[in-house]
Amino acid sequence: KFMEIKSEIQIALCDNINTRDAVEKVRELIVAGNVYTNDCDIKERIPNSMIIRDICEFIYSKFKVFGVILDR
């Protein structure tokens, strides 16, 4: 799911920087991450930290693109 949404975000950004769709896809990615961690809780499993880290790093990089996070 992560790779699918990541690809959709890239497509939106390449489409004349379609920020609206890209931000919506970032929201979907956050929801997918929450569903994954909640599912792990229900099944009493430890979430894969690499997956969570990759999602966080990807979202962080897109927030920088959108100007939400500024480098100092």
Is the pLDDT at 72 greater than 70? The verdict is: no
Q: Kindly report, residue by residue over 24-54, the tens digit of the pLDDT.
A: 999 999 999 999 999 999 999 999 999 999 9
Q: Is the dihedral of CA 37, 49, 11, 4 positive or negative?
A: negative
What pTM, to 2 d.p., does this model score?
0.78
Instruction: Judge contact between 8 and 18, C-beta under 8 A.
Output: no
pLDDT for the residue 27: 94
DSSP the chain: -HHHHHHHHHHHHHTT--HHHHHHHHHHHHHHHHHHHHHHHHTT----HHHHHHHHHHHHHHHHHHTSS---
